[in-house]
């Protein structure tokens, strides 16, 4: 019976193992890069939608502010045609926001209009936006409708009240949708995509207020999970399938002031097209190396099989005197082969580790430049591995909602940046200052004790109260202090203790410091803001 010799077995096994390893590595690389590309596209679409949503929100607020300013001036102008004409012309021409501006009395009759149209002054507007503005007697952004001249538009209005509170009418502005002369179209821009990507804005009734395909503006976006999510006020990204059946990677963000939503989405196939070409290039570049590899495998198979073959041949004439000499002359290479195998496995492990580090996540809060929650978690894990003690200070701005309500969110953001700078000023170079979200901050002090951290927190509290902030006065802070490992067994438990101490300080009157398991630190007579 003919048996296959060891050299052929090694050759076949090595070739099969090499091809299988290459196939597995190639497939794993493909899946890793595929997941990375999709994640990057989802995040890019979310960030793009959030940026446009923020711009649209600011645009609408600015437009309403223009109308509100005019509404405050108009009571003394009503009945003076020339002054009313000048005012609507100013609103129309000053910023180019509105395609048309109207001043309407309480009976619904037009008092002035820009641009001027024959027969419109002293007539009663029957459009949807005009009727809703009269009925609401409050600031209003209408749903899309077709105006007097056939334009699809939204209508913004502000009521006009006399000094004694009587309703005198409203001033309103029309913004065209889906047309080159519309300010909303100019804000969002024209996006000429060749791969099926889409950018659109929807209102609370799912009407398309903007679409890069003008023919779709005014239609209804139905059956889209991203639209449903953004109309619930959510911001995020997701993979979805449109009603047309196209697989999309969508990012979305709401426009708070109007209840609108912005959606940016790209076909999944378009995202992965570049990956297919990349993997093909990798395959083609790898193929030329297989010829010398196969030659080396053939040579190594002979080298590995030679000792056993020599022993087998010698065993066939065991009785000869020369057999002993021949066995001594056999050189075994098994140890070296094992080392080579381990070296190859080590190289493959190194490759996998490199693939695992292809995507590095952002660990910085964009508003303040401080570390975010992920940066905080990474520092905690690193210090825990190093068994490095630290103190944690949880900081919260007192009555921050009143700052936003009184001065606006832009001032609120500047207050957050102001407090961030103060926290940096009282921290050392090796300390970690983090913003957890909203008005909540965390200061980590490595190698610092509980009392030293309390002194830092008190210094920050006093400095904040005495330093002029964007609101014009000082900002008071409440803080909680804890220490690891003296206060708790784990870093996460220490953060929780610091938060609990913070809430105890706030319940005790705010503008004070509380230590984990101890009483508050701070002036009882300090003003609470």
Model-wide pTM > 0.75: no
Per-residue confidence at 216, pLDDT binned at 50, 70, 90? confident
| Joined tokens for residue 32 | 């890793």
Query: Are the C-beta atoms of 434 and 381 separated by less than 8 Å?
Result: no
Q: In this structure, what are the phi and psi dihedrals at residue 310, rounded to the nearest 5 degrees?
A: -60, -40
Does the pLDDT of residue 172 top 60, yes or no? yes
Does the pLDDT of residue 488 top 90, yes or no? no
pLDDT of res. 464: 92
Instruction: Render pLDDT for 243-297 as a digit per residue (tens, 0 to 9).
Output: 778 888 999 999 988 888 999 988 988 888 878 778 788 777 877 777 787 778 7
Q: In this structure, what are the phi and psi dihedrals at residue 414, rounded to the nearest 5 degrees?
A: -70, -35
Query: Are the C-beta atoms of 240 and 230 separated by less than 8 Å?
Result: no
pLDDT of res. 384: 87
**List of long-range contacts for 163-169, beta carbons under 8 Å, 24+ apart:** 163/75, 167/106, 167/137, 168/74, 168/75, 168/78, 168/105, 168/106, 169/78, 169/103, 169/104, 169/105, 169/106, 169/111
144-159: average pLDDT: 85
Tell me how far apart the alpha carbons of residues 50 and 44 are, in angstroms, rounded to a whole number: 10
pLDDT of res. 359: 33
Q: Quick one: the chain helix, strand, coil %, rounded to 5?
A: 50, 20, 30
Instruction: Render pLDDT for 440-459 as a digit per residue (tens, 0 to 9).
Output: 999 999 999 999 999 999 99
Q: Residue 19 contacts by C-beta under 8 Å, 6 or more apart in sequence?
A: none
Q: Which fold has domain 373-521?
A: Alpha-Beta Plaits (3.30.70)
Instruction: Render pLDDT for 309-342 as a digit per residue (tens, 0 to 9).
Output: 666 666 666 556 666 676 666 666 554 333 333 3
Q: Which residue has the higher pLDDT, 516 or 7?
A: 516
**List of long-range contacts for 211-218, beta carbons under 8 Å, 24+ apart:** 211/178, 214/178, 214/179, 217/152, 217/177, 217/178, 218/144, 218/152, 218/177, 218/178
Select, from the ranges 20-34, 331-345, 499-513, the one with the highest average predicted confidence (pLDDT). 499-513
Does the pLDDT of residue 205 top 50, yes or no? yes
Does the pLDDT of residue 526 top 60, yes or no? no
Residue in 487, 507, 505, 506 with CA at minimum distance from that of residue 497: 487
- Beta pairing, strands 247-255 & 236-241: antiparallel
Q: Where are the domains of the chain?
A: 6-36+283-356, 373-521
Percentage of the chain with pLDDT > 70?
Answer: 83
483-499: average pLDDT: 87
């Amino acid at each position: 019976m003919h048996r296959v010799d060891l050299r052929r077995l090694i050759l076949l096994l090595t070739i099969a193992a090499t091809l299988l390893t290459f196939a597995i590595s190639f497939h794993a690389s493909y899946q890793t890069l595929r997941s990375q590309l999709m994640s990057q596209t989802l995040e890019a679409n979310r960030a793009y939608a959030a940026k446009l949503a923020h711009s649209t929100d600011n645009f609408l607020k600015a437009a309403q502010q223009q109308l509100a300013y005019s509404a405050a001036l108009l009571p003394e102008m009503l009945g003076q045609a020339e002054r009313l004409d000048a005012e609507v012309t100013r609103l129309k021409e000053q910023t180019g926001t509105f395609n048309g501006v109207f001043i309407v009395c309480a009976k619904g009759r037009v008092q002035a209009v820009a641009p001027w149209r024959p027969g419109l002054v002293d007539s009663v507007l029957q459009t949807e936006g005009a009727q809703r503005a009269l009925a609401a007697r409050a600031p209003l952004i209408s749903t899309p409708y077709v105006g007097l001249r056939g334009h699809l538009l939204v209508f913004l209005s502000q009521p006009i009240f006399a000094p004694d509170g009587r309703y005198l009418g409203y001033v309103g502005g029309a913004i065209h949708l889906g047309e080159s002369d519309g300010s909303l179209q100019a804000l969002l821009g024209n996006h000429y995509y060749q791969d099926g990507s889409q950018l659109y804005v929807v209102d609370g009734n799912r009407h398309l207020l903007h679409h890069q395909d003008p023919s779709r503006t005014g239609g209804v976006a139905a059956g889209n999970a991203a639209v449903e999510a953004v109309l619930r006020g959510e911001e995020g990204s997701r993979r979805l399938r449109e009603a047309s059946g196209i697989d999309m990677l969508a990012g979305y963000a709401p426009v708070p002031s109007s209840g609108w939503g912005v959606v940016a989405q790209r076909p999944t196939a378009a995202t992965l097209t570049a990956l297919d070409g990349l993997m093909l290039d990798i395959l083609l570049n790898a193929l030329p190396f297989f010829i010398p590899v196969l030659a080396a495998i053939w040579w190594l198979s002979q080298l590995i099989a030679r000792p056993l073959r020599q022993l087998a041949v010698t065993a066939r004439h065991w009785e000869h005197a020369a057999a002993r000499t021949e066995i001594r002359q056999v050189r075994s290479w098994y140890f070296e082969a094992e080392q080579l195998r381990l070296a190859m496995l080590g190289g493959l492990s190194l490759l996998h580790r490199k693939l695992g580090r292809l995507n590095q996540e952002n660990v910085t809060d964009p508003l303040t430049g401080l570390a975010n929650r992920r940066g905080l978690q990474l520092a905690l894990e690193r210090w825990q591995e190093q068994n490095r003690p630290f103190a944690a200070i949880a900081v919260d701005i007192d009555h921050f909602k009143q700052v936003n309500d009184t001065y606006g969110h832009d001032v609120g953001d500047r207050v957050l940046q102001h407090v961030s700078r103060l926290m940096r000023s009282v921290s050392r170079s090796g300390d970690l200052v983090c913003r957890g979200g909203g008005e909540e901050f965390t200061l980590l002090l490595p190698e610092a004790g509980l009392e030293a951290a309390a002194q830092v927190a008190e210094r920050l509290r006093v400095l904040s109260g005495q330093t002029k902030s964007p609101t014009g006065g000082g900002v008071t802070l409440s803080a909680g202090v804890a220490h690891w490992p003296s206060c708790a067994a784990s870093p996460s438990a220490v953060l929780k203790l610091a938060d609990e101490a913070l809430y105890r300080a706030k319940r005790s009157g705010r503008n004070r410091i509380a230590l984990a398991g101890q009483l508050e630190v701070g002036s009882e007579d300090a003003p609470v803001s």
